[in-house]
Structure 1
């Protein structure tokens, strides 16, 4: 369990099984042969960025996989929202513009021609 948490934190992931408040019999994924010990030892991890895409994560006890583990299934939205990236407007450096004589002459000519 210690190594799993270390792996999750170093790779910026989350464990989806622990996010949802399911019934206790839907949480455990492994059952001992004596049926006295039940543990949640199978996990599904996902990048933290996509955590809102997961809307259901449970185990299915009827899954016939030939093991003492039950299959853990996670339902994820296929279509994700596009990330909007804001572009900052260009900032002009007015101090350097006022000190450059060539730019001042071009600006004055452009303004005079525009208002004639």
Structure 2
């Protein structure tokens, strides 16, 4: 299988079975932006590095590109993934009041007020 056909077959949305915790999502790119590994001697180029995100966030991946100009002494190419994020303030759950049951056992008047309230 040549490199062009390999990149075309890999450059699509692929799902991991629901028992697995993730989803592989690839945004369509030009073929030169897809390969992430170069064989010694530059004979073959393949896409073997992927971005894995939970299924819930698969539509949050805006772009996925390999940075070809980076030179850091490896046969892999760094991959940049732009993700849309919304920061949202989390609501604290309401805490139910804690009753002091020991005080209810000791004080009869407090016990009577508690029973009337409930």
Question: What's the TM-score bracket when you normalise by the shorter of the two chains?
Answer: 0.5 to 0.7
Query: Residues 25-83 of structure 1: CA distance to partner in whole angstroms, max 9, x if unpaired?
Result: 111100012112111111110000011111001100112332010001110012168xx
CA distance in structure 2 between the partners assigned to 1:79 and 1:64 by the alignment: 33
Q: Normalized against structure 2, the TM-score is what?
A: 0.55
User: Larger radius of gyration, structure 1 or 2?
Assistant: 1
Q: Cα distance, 1:9 vs. partner?
A: 5.0
Q: How does 1:62-101 map to 2 (within 5 A)?
A: 62-79=69-86
Q: Normalized against structure 1, the TM-score is what?
A: 0.56
Q: Is the 8 A contact 1:8 1:45 kept in 2?
A: no
Unmatched 5+ stretches in structure 1: 82-116
Q: Which has the higher helix share?
A: 1
Unmatched 5+ stretches in structure 2: 1-13, 89-118
Q: Which runs of 4+ in 1 moved over 3 A?
A: 5-10
Over the residues paired in the alignment, what is the CA RMSD in angstroms? 2.6
Please tell me whether residue 14 in structure 1 is matched to residue 23 in structure 2. yes
**How many pairs were matched up?**
76
